[in-house]
Structure 1
Amino acid sequence: MTRRPAATPRARSTAVSVLVALVALVPALSACTTTTEPPVGTTPSSGLPSATAAPNPALARYYTQKLDWKKCGDLECADLRVPLDHAAPDPAKDLTIKVARVKARDQSKRLGSLLVNPGGPGASGIDYVRNGAETIGGPEVRRYYDLVGFDPRGVGGSDPIDCLGDKALDRFLGADPTPDTPAEEQALLVQAKAMAAGCQADNPDLVKHLSTADAARDMDILRAAVGDPQLNYLGKSYGTFLGSTYADLFPKRVGRMVLDGVVPPDLTSAELGEGQARGFQIATQAYVEDCVKQGDCPLGSAAEAALKGLDDFFKQVDRQPLPSGDPSAPQLTEGWARLGVAVALYDQGAWSILTDALREAKAGNGQSLMQLADAYAERRPGGGYDGNLMESINAVNCLDRPDSPDLSAYEKYAKDFSAKAPTWGANLAWGALPCGIWPVKATNPPHKISAPGSNPIVVVGTTRDPATIYEWSKRLRDELDNAVLVSFDGDGHTAYGRSNTCVDSAIDAYYVQGRVPKDGLRC
């Protein structure tokens, strides 16, 4: 979950996968079954309404739909029908949510479906399942659960919002992200206005209904469609925002839910930017220390010097962009360079790749750093984009976290953020500018959530997570009525499935055995 340029939270097992694939967790809990549910509106002996019971009668047709699963490569895929506006459903305006699954290996002992969201907003849950079916959860999780991924509304294959053409999106992403003159501020404002106007022009109805609350309500329809009376869920990064929003809307429907790398729903736009700036600063410090330790660091021979070396590099590229090796975007600007550096901070396995790319860039060749930036943006070398991540992230964020239309507000953000995070403060301060001039009023503004009456929710935080700082995990755990916190002392973004056996074993046991981890578990 990010502004620009902090790399969008998505599942990445190693740095190599970023470059090659260009992609980028109790006893009292109810197990899910595949048994036939009672008629809509009836109450089974568990005390829960039936799996297909709709929140109101106008939504019944959506909650009783059956998914028509068909083979699509290594997956099974289906279309889910949801209303554009849950408050006033109109069949003529229905949206189609693309869904995919990998079936549990032991169908005779199947516990139900595990819905997953890898982050964004704007990352594809279908791609997450397709590329990570062997790494999402341990072997026992994959034995007993169907893994179900979906592209949220407006994302990927689900009626995607398309705000800018490829060349215009190149200009948006390559723009100077740290303006320090009135002219540069105006130039960045032009790009922000282009994004905002483009999203509204593409689909003026859809752009009003892309909030996280809208997506959470869609997820409850998907829960009903897969036949589960409660939602078993893994949300990473922005997926934690989606999951906690769901829990607050449907607390009695929460099954076994893990929120890893937390974005609390009550964060304001300024809090989000300031927190991410500090997170990336901490990650950058860890990276330069490792760079120096490995020897021959292109940024400097000591950590302090290397940190200054990175700051100086960004300033130099701002003054004089480097050749990118890509005729469709021939210049590695500061905007592209920051994207390339940021994406590598998501996984410490990418640090050596980043060092090599910076060494090349310091020698005047920006090609490798541009490839990293392309991986961030789901951009193909030579031009064109594989998804709409860079557009949907703005369309969703701006309905969740409005900001100021006054440029002086961002100047103040830049000064305040930079005092705590010199390398990333200004960058993250100006990243919310599109939300200051967004054409649609925010429909899901920041608010605390508590999910009263839910089953235990497991919150996971990583101490040096660049994009979702550790204190946010503690914050959400304290706000939820029924939650426990698992902490991973380490680097990189998120923990489950990419850190160590302590985290993985605790979460696997929670999903499979219903054993809630001890609150305060440290790994």
Structure 2
Amino acid sequence: MTTPLSRRPARRALACAATLVLALVVGACSVPPKQQTPVDDVATAAAGTGETGPEGFEDFYGQGLAWEDCGGGWECTTARAPLSWADPGAGEIELALKRLPATGERIGSLLTNPGGPGASGVDFIATLAPTVGERVTEAYDLVGFDPRGVGLSSSVVCLDDAAKDESLSRDYDTDEAGLEALAEDRRAWADACAENTGDLLGQVDTQSAARDMDMLRAVLGDEKLAYLGYSYGTQLGATYAGLFPEKVGRLVLDGAIDTTLDPDTISEQQAVGFEDALRAYVEDCQAGGECPLRGDADQGMRQIRSLLDAAKANPLPTDSERRVTQTLGFYGIAVTLYNDQSWPVLTQALTEAFEEGTGNLLLYLADFYNDRNADGTYSSNSSEAFRAVNCLDGRQDDDPEAMQAQLERLEEAAPTMGSFFAFGGLTCDGWAYPVAEPEFDLHAEGAAPVVVIGTTNDPATPYVWAEGLADTLDSAVLLTWEGEGHTAYGRSNACVGDAVDAYLVDGTVPEDGLRC
């Protein structure tokens, strides 16, 4: 049992997959440190749209942004947002933004989100920029922002690094004692988040983040929102469309989440997605010459499960004092399934584990997924924000009998990976704030055309979710990439890239049902 997997490009996967394969150097994809030098007055001035926004929030919609040079042609700033969009007097928070100004004839700003929930848009934008079409960078200011609760914005704070290390590596049994230990761990997270975050913890739901996006749209001077959202970013974008259909400009939702699904169904379908992706890897590995997995695909899958089960009984040693538990082994395997360019690294990690009995590379991969640095610190608060946002957006059934029944379904549907998605009903045990009531139209009636993209063997956001979201949104068209891995635009092929570029730049809506 692990924390459910994030629905996002795994740790800058769009730009870093090649780095992971060729050099295993995460630092090569890091964002340069800020160099806070004011830019010229023209770049600093925030035109805004002149909108007043909802009553009581006029100051937020009318604020100016002071952009500063933060290196490499990038500009950074901080915007103010209300702590609560229901109470103007509740105080305010900060939102961190980073942008790359358009290089040609400017259309406006393109807001982006990498997913999660909990992934940093400020970090992501620098790795996204080289992957989008040149016409897009000419026409738009590319804007990344850390949503409320995330990264450099007013953020969720929970456990210290040592406690987080222990929690993210711990294995649990499924008997009564094991589940109580799991519940105690989740309550420790809940208590720490409440104590260290305060009232913000109850205000980081997706609807509040979508309202922040509308404010940012107005402050950036855009009459309509142009937006590129990946993974969980598609949920954020669909929520925006439901709240503000009249403000929808050109929205691309890649690696889509079906907003009609309940959390239990999401967990079960995601488990099958990772099972299918792992099987695709096994078949590819066995077709090559240097694969440690013997026999056919079924036997290869069983070997991987046996390795994980053995790690629970006897964690794999490494060159450090840390050992690879079953949970860490799962993370190390799962992270490589987000992008098939990372499959050779998984082969290396499994070869080491099977032939040498050690888990150095699996541990590296698990740390890569969890944003853990070699010195034991964490480079982001993604795990904290992921839990906080999800606990406000919706919760799985925590009835013990229901959770045991789900475990049985998971093990039947996904024998290798399924059990790691079980008992999600305990994730929010002891959480200090209730689920936020939905206030948006799932169908976004009246919105301009929205492009929904699905990848046929996406593990984190299964293709069926893209079909579901496209069916739900009244104005959506579905673009399909027949490929492996998580998301498509920026890492697939010219068919997808050209269709998205033409939509964003020219407003040409792709043919509904286009397959690439």
Aligned partners of 2:169 and 2:345: how far apart in 1? 21
- 2:491 matches 1:498: yes
Could you report, residue by residue, the CA deviation over 1:13-68 in whole angstroms, capped at 9, with x for unpaired residues? 353434422679xxxxxxxxx9x999xxxxxxxxxxx9342442211110111110
| Partner of residue 4, structure 2 | 4
- Could you list the runs of 5+ residues in structure 1 that have no partner in the other structure? 25-33, 39-49
- Secondary structure of the 1:57 match is coil
1:175 equivalent among 170, 175, 178: 170
| 2:190 equivalent among 196, 212, 217 | 196
Whole-Å separation in 2 of the counterparts to 1:375 and 1:446:
36
2:419 maps to what in 1? Answer: 426
SS at match of 2:130: coil
2:179 to 185, 189, 196: 185
Secondary structure of the 2:75 match is strand
Shift of 1:432: 4.7
The alpha-carbon deviation at position 422 of structure 1 amounts to 1.2
- Partner of residue 154, structure 1: 149
CA offsets, 1:439-488, max 9 Å, x none? Answer: 21101459870111111000000000000010111111111111100001
Establish whether residue 225 from structure 1 lines up as the match of residue 219 from structure 2.
yes
Question: How far apart, CA to CA, are the structure 2 residues paired with 1:465 and 1:342?
Answer: 12
**Aligned counterpart, 1:46:** none
On the 8 A contact 2:46/2:220 being kept in 1, the answer is: no
C-alpha contact 1:8 1:376 (8 A) present in aligned 2: no
Q: Secondary structure at the match of 2:345?
A: helix
**Distance between the aligned counterparts of 1:446 and 1:88, measured in 2?**
16
Q: CA deviation at 1:129?
A: 1.1
Cα deviation digits, residues 398-443 of structure 1 (max 9, x gap): 1001233433332221111221111122211224521244221101
Counterpart for residue 273 of structure 1: 267
In the alignment, is residue 216 of structure 1 matched against residue 210 of structure 2? Answer: yes
SS at the partner of 1:255?
strand
Kept in 2, the 8 Å contact 1:401–1:446? The answer is no
Matches within 5 A, 1:82-121: 82-90=81-89, 93-106=91-104, 109-121=105-117
Cα pair distance change 1:495/1:463, threshold 3 Å: same
Equivalent residue runs for 1:315-464 within 5 Å: 315-327=309-321, 330-362=322-354, 363-444=356-437, 449-464=442-457
Q: Distance in 2 between matches of 1:262 and 1:85?
A: 27
Aligned to 2:503: 510
**Residues 298 and 355, structure 1, Cα contact 8 Å, conserved in 2:** yes
User: Partner letter of residue 128 of structure 1?
Assistant: F
1:216-238 deviations in Å (ceiling 9; x for gaps): 00111110111000000000000
Match of 1:63 in 2: 61
| SS of structure 1 residue aligned to 2:198 | coil
Say which SS state the counterpart of residue 462 (structure 1) adopts: strand
SS in 2 for 1:203: helix
Which residue in 2 is equivalent to 1:483?
476
Identify the residue that residue 21 of structure 1 maps to in structure 2: 26
- Any conservation in 2 of the 1:462–1:489 contact (CA below 8 Å)? yes
Q: 1:459 to 1:210 in 2, by over 3 A?
A: same
State whether residues 122 and 146 of structure 2, in contact with CA within 8 Å, keep that contact through their aligned partners in structure 1.
yes
Residues 1:145 and 2:140 aligned together: yes
Look up the SS of the partner of 1:326 in the other structure: coil
* AA matched with 1:452: E
Deviation of 1:208 (Å): 0.6
Counterpart-to-counterpart distance in 2, 1:215 and 1:269: 19
CA distance in 1, matches of 2:9, 2:397: 25
TM normalised by structure 2 equals 0.92
SS in 2 for 1:161: coil
1:491–1:187 distance in 2 versus 1, CA, 3 Å: same
**Deviation of 1:190 (Å):** 1.8
Q: Which amino acid aligns with 1:355?
A: T
In structure 1, distance between residues paired with 2:184 and 2:46:
54
Distance in 2 (alpha carbons) for counterparts of 1:507 and 1:348 = 22
Q: Which residue of 254, 268, 286 corresponds with 2:248?
A: 254
**How far apart in 1 are the matches of 2:95 and 2:284?**
43
1:77 aligns with 2:79: no
What's the CA shift string for 1:255-295, capped at 9, x where partnerless? 01000001122221101100100100110110100110112
Q: CA RMSD in A?
A: 2.1
Structure 2 contact 7–461 (Cα < 8 Å) conserved: no
* Structure 1 residues 410 and 76: CA distance shift in structure 2, 3 A: same
SS at match of 1:435: coil
TM-score w.r.t. the length of structure 1 is 0.91
| Aligned sequence identity (%) | 43
**Which consecutive residues of structure 2, in runs of 5 or more, have no partner in the other structure?**
31-42
Counterpart-to-counterpart distance in 1, 2:259 and 2:437: 9
Shift of 1:175: 1.6
Question: Partner of 2:35 in structure 1?
Answer: none
- How many pairs were matched up? 494
Kept in 1: contact 2:100–2:142 (CA 8 A): yes
Aligned in 2, Cα 1:186/1:325: closer, same or farther, shift over 3 Å? farther
Give me the whole-angstrom Cα distance separating, in 1, the residues matched to 2:414 and 2:390: 22
Change (3 A) 1:132 1:216: same
- Following the alignment from structure 2 to structure 1, what is the Cα–Cα distance between the partners of residues 486 and 262? 21
Opposite residue 493 of structure 1, the aligned amino acid is H
What letter corresponds to residue 337 of structure 1 in structure 2?
G
2:156/2:384 contact within 8 Å kept: yes
Aligned-partner Cα distance in 2 for 1:181–1:293 = 39
Give 3-state SS (helix, strand or coil) of 2:195's partner. Answer: helix
Question: What residue in structure 1 maps to residue 283 of structure 2?
Answer: 289
Structure 2 counterpart SS, 1:297: coil
SS of alignment partner, residue 205 of structure 1 = helix
* Cα separation, 2, equivalents of 1:168 and 1:54: 45
- Partner letter of residue 61 of structure 1? D
Change (3 A) 1:142 1:246: same
Checking the alignment, whether the CA contact within 8 Å between 2:190 and 2:429 is kept in structure 1 is: no
